[in-house]
Chains A and B, each alone.
Chain A
Amino acid sequence: MNQYPMTVSFTLNGEKRTFATAPGENLLDLLRRSGLRGTKFGCGQGTCGACTVLLDGRAVNACLLFVGQVEGREVCTIESVGSFDKSSEIQQELIDGSAVQCGYCIPGIVMSATALMKAETKYDDEIVREYMDGNICRCTGYEKIWGALRRVLDRREASLAKVEGSGSKS
């Protein structure tokens, strides 16, 4: 009996890939058995956010998606976000801001924040809370995570405003 009787093709971290899978397999299991283990299992029910990945740029729970649902689409995981040589701005602020305690939620936090930065240009507190409400952290009380995100988002908002400002002058 073939455990993985169907194939699904999608772009994974910028690379077109084809995977053998099963109709009932979820994206989290596929990613982890394919060596992308930065995406974590926390609940399997879409309630904790440890398995957050980007699907066409939006944060989603990999544990809730059948692999079949991502056919032809673009999936980004934490492995595409940073490296030892070059962490993303969000990762760097989380590291510098002592926001990483047990760290199990952090890849998911990074992915949600990355989606927020891509999708929006204004980052008032309410928007940030709404984008981040699917990532549970039990260690930090969120204060340090919040601080790290705020610093990144404030800088980005300021630089976007500057670009806009200079654009309107010219």
Chain B
Amino acid sequence: MGNDPKNFKQVNHSVTKVDARQLALGKDSYVADFAPANALVVKMLWSPHPHARIVSLDVSEAEKMPGVKAVLWHGNVPRIAHCTAGQGFPEPSPYDTFMFDTKVRFVGDRVAAVAAESAEQAEAAVAAIKVEYELLKPVLSIDEAMAPDAPIIHDEPEAHVPIPIPYDPKTNLVARVACEAGDFEKGMKEADFAFDDTYETPYAQACPIEPYTSLAQLDSSGRIVITTSTQVPFHCRRIVARTLDVPVQKVRVIKPRIGGGFGCKQEVLLEDVVAMFALRTGRPVLWQFTREETFRTGRTRHPMRVRIRAGVKKDGTITALGMDCWNNTGAYGGHGLTVVSCSGSKVLPLYRCENIHFDGKVLYTNLPVGGAYRGFGATQAFFAMESTIEQMAEAIGMDPMEFRQKNHIKSGEGSPIFAALGEGKEGVPMTVGSNALAECIVKGAEEVGWKNRTDWRSKSGRYRRGIGMACLMQGSSIPHIDMGGAWIKINDDASFNLMFGATDIGTGADTVLAQIAAEELATTVDKIIVYASDTDLTPFDVGAYASSTTYLSGEAVRKAAAEAKRQLLASGAEMLNLPVETLHCEDSAVQNADGSKKVSYADIAAYTLYQKNQYQIFGTASHITEKSPPPFAAHFAEIEVDTWTGFIRVLNYISTIDCGTAINPALCEGQTEGGTLNGISYALTEEYIFRNGRMTNPSFADYHIYSMRDRPPIKAILVPSYEETGPFGAKSVSEICINGPAPVFANAIYNATGARIREFPFTPERVLNAIKAVKREA
């Protein structure tokens, strides 16, 4: 039993999400719900300039304004270089940020902060701060960043990267990572058809409906307690301690329920300020971003330029795959290197090819700051890759689905890229274990009606339909870098406290991990009390990122539960007076093979807590991974293009996924549907519109994400596989799905109209212009 999916009682079932009821009832759950009535409110003076030096800053008037309790600025806080990105330590990202600096580097950079009794008073004080700027020439594109005489954005002497990787702020270079396998140039020469195209992907914001929010207060012993909307409580504790120059011991970070993150809360953007204000004032301090601040100062998806050079033989063999990426990290470098590394490592292995070239450069600009965002580099690169694959198929006259089926990586195969590209260091060699991509393709194709797909040249009229597809992979955790810990203890009534550092940000991770614990313990989810992500009370975990929680933290939970189970069996054996080898756990009891002798967990709890040889049944475990098994997906869509206006209507979207064992199928579908819809609006309507480096549309009125009225039909199809290295066969689900829509639509637009578009969002103007270009060619 155990690992046969048919025998699963808790995992692979859509149990009710453990926090669903409290959230549906609107009970206090999120950071702002816990703000005491006497909390001070923070407002920040943000830079209105993309690049300027602060010549003088006068906060004296603001400090005297009614209700103002403290003002923070570069003149009264420690100047400590740090990185706001919540990543493993030491971070593969530059320490190029200060709590407050004498220079501002993008519109939305910090200048000075006020804490006051009310928001109105804080706003009035912010308006009273006097700043004189010396305007510097801004760098507003990666081309400007790379120009020989480009302004230097980070000219401060402290800027450095804490690990040995290329970093040259004098040329605005944040990082560079390159690798080569086989002989790329030779592969290009062997090709019957060669491709060399450049793609551009845009900015976007994750748009969690709960804006960034942090609350800090001093407890009775004077320690700083930060309740915050974060994906990375433990990294947050470390970064805040460093930035404030206080010991880690002095800081406690608590993560309550989180109103969405999607990557953008893998960053420490508010916590240092509320913590410093709490120290200075002794008062609770709340800071909630407005929606505008979330767009301007919140982290974004890195825009990227991707050049693909590739070759294919007439028989469908891919002879060379080359990818050059230029990653715009904005004003600060967090996640710059790792995002571009993932552009290579999560994308290039998908198709078999012996001759591979990868070169990723990361550049500073005076634009909004890139950060983690679901998909993390793979999103950008898959647009280029899957557009290229389609063109290869067309060049050799092969159906693009068949071409993918012929070339995609199979179970048991590896890729030189896995070993070559890690995150800040070399990667880990790996062969693919579970892989149901072939089945994903077949099921998706059937659902979308791929066999009825016709060539664009046969289509006419104003409204033209097209079908497109894309194949995708991602990873599950960062091997040898990420760690998750868990512990579990039994209570009198055979309920269990399950505690872990992993960070449920709305994904359902608490539920999934409870299911894993319940399965391992042979009990039920309703017996598991989850408490997570509190740096004082739960073990360490890197946090919610890199598609790691189910695969990595899930295995830590399973191991902790197994240890508790071992103790249950031992005490059960003592109570039953039977050899432990003859016993097993079933239905919250320890019993012998035929069930004729058994003792319930509740009785074991009573025995071990109160009666004899008392001790606390308590399992603890940590986990690191050796692999990062990719989930796979095949996406398909049918669209209709209005060739008079360039508007696109999505008629049908199919999102298949192989995430190994779906620990909670309904939640896996939910992840897939949600990520897919986010990808759809990213491809079609989301846009950062700039004027002189300033985003002009920082509201949901002007930045278009989808409502229930806009949503096209999305069908998520879970295709099971069994990943031997994951808990009960699971691998990751959450990120991969966002990578599909852009290439799927690019390919569908081509199939409808013959227009190949290499930059998105596919605004009606871009589509119309591309259609007109096709007509001119014809």
Q: Known contacts being A38-B25, A42-B211, is A138 close to B669, with CB within 8 Å?
A: no
Q: Does B1 belong to the interface (CB within 8 Å)?
A: no
A144–B66 touching, CB < 8 Å:
no
CA A79 – CA B507 in complex, angstroms? 24
Q: Known contacts being A45-B291, A129-B708, is A142 close to B209, with CB within 8 Å?
A: no
CA A91 – CA B291 in complex, angstroms? 27
B259–A38 touching, CB < 8 Å:
no
CA A143 – CA B669 in complex, angstroms? 9
> How far, in Å, is A128 (CB) from chain B's closest CB?
8
Number of interface residues of B (CB under 8 A): 61
- By a CB distance below 8 angstroms, the chain A residues around B664 are 98
Q: Does A30 belong to the interface (CB within 8 Å)?
A: no
CA A47 – CA B291 in complex, angstroms? 10
A104–B260 touching, CB < 8 Å:
yes
Main secondary structure of the interface of B (DSSP, over half): loop
- Name the residue of chain A whose CB is nearest to the CB of B699: A45
Interface flags, A14-57, vs B, CB<8A=1, else 0: 00000000000000000011000111111111011010000000
- By a CB distance below 8 angstroms, the chain A residues around B11 are none
A42–B17 touching, CB < 8 Å:
no
Q: Give the number of residue pairs across the A-B interface with Cβ within 8 Å.
A: 190
A136–B700 touching, CB < 8 Å:
yes
B506–A101 touching, CB < 8 Å:
yes
- By a CB distance below 8 angstroms, the chain A residues around B209 are 40, 42, 48, 50, 102, 104-105, 136-138
B673–A37 touching, CB < 8 Å:
no
B32–A142 touching, CB < 8 Å:
no
A78–B26 touching, CB < 8 Å:
yes
Q: Known contacts being A43-B699, A94-B24, is A144 close to B666, with CB within 8 Å?
A: yes
CA A39 – CA B26 in complex, angstroms? 7
B20–A100 touching, CB < 8 Å:
yes
Q: Pick from A68-76, A82-90, A160-168 the stretch touching chain B.
A: A82-90
A102 contact from B14, B259, B291, B700, Cβ within 8 A: B259
CA A131 – CA B508 in complex, angstroms? 27
Main secondary structure of the interface of A (DSSP, over half): loop
CA A21 – CA B369 in complex, angstroms? 39
CA A99 – CA B673 in complex, angstroms? 11
> How far, in Å, is B530 (CB) from chain A's closest CB?
15
Which residues 431-474 of B sit at the A interface, judged by CB distance below 8 A? none
Q: Does B21 belong to the interface (CB within 8 Å)?
A: yes
Q: Does B208 belong to the interface (CB within 8 Å)?
A: yes
CA A50 – CA B23 in complex, angstroms? 12
Mind listing 18 A-B residue pairs with CB under 8 Å?
A: A42-B209, A42-B210, A45-B699, A91-B21, A98-B667, A101-B674, A102-B259, A103-B23, A103-B29, A104-B23, A128-B708, A136-B700, A136-B707, A138-B678, A141-B675, A141-B711, A142-B711, A144-B670
Interface residues of A (CB under 8 A from B): 1, 3, 32-33, 37-45, 47-48, 50, 77-79, 81-84, 87, 91, 94-107, 110, 128-130, 132-146
- Other than the given A103-B23, A104-B209, 4 more pairs (CB < 8 A) read A44-B290, A138-B678, A142-B706, A143-B669
Interface residues of B (CB under 8 A from A): 14, 16-17, 19-21, 23-30, 32-33, 37, 66, 118, 206-211, 257-260, 262, 288, 290-291, 505-508, 664, 666-667, 669-670, 672-678, 699-701, 705-711, 714, 716
